[in-house]
């Protein structure tokens, strides 16, 4: 087994900092720094802030399962920042900041879920080989 680069406590702290940074940053960007002309403030919040609230309890508690499924939500933000980088050169700075938060959250949450799950004895069961002679 390869040696861990970061302790699980450190990974949790990194993930929480990235998570709360994203939680604060998204409404600031979308409502105040550069509000969308196409989306109402309520729609912006419901699309880009509300989904971030779902995992808050499990993340703070350190539940590895929550850290794992949070990445499904994070993919939405990858899509948002990468699309913004592609179509809106004027927002390159704001989308890049989002990309840093999202990438940090994705990687730290993934490794926290893996290593904390191993510490707790949780595992994903391998599918049995079903070949018959």
- Tokens for 28, please give them: 């600031």
35: which DSSP letter?
A: -
Say if CB 111 and CB 11 are below 8 A apart.
Answer: yes
- Tokens for 72, please give them: 């499904």
Say if CB 66 and CB 59 are below 8 A apart.
Answer: yes
Structure-token match 């510490």, residue found: 119
For residue 105, what are the contacts with CB-CB under 8 A and spacing of at least 6? 15, 18, 19, 22, 70, 74
- Tokens for 86, please give them: 């592609």
Largest CA distance in the chain: 66
Kindly report the average pLDDT of the chain as a whole number: 92
> pLDDT under 70 in the chain at which residues?
1-2, 124-133
98-117 per-position pLDDT tens digit: 999 999 999 999 999 999 99
């Amino acid at each position: 087994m390869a040696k861990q680069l970061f302790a699980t406590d450190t990974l949790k702290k990194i993930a929480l900092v990235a998570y709360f940074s994203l939680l604060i940053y998204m409404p600031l960007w979308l409502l105040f720094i550069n509000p969308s002309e196409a989306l109402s403030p309520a729609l912006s919040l419901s699309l880009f802030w509300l989904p971030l609230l779902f995992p808050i309890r499990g993340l703070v508690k350190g539940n590895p399962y929550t850290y794992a499924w949070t990445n499904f939500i994070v993919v939405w933000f990858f899509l948002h920042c990468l699309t913004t980088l592609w179509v809106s050169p004027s927002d390159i700075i704001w989308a890049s900041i989002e990309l840093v938060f999202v990438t940090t959250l994705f990687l730290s949450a993934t490794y926290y879920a893996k290593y904390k799950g191993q510490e707790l004895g949780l595992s994903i069961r391998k599918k049995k080989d079903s070949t018959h002679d």
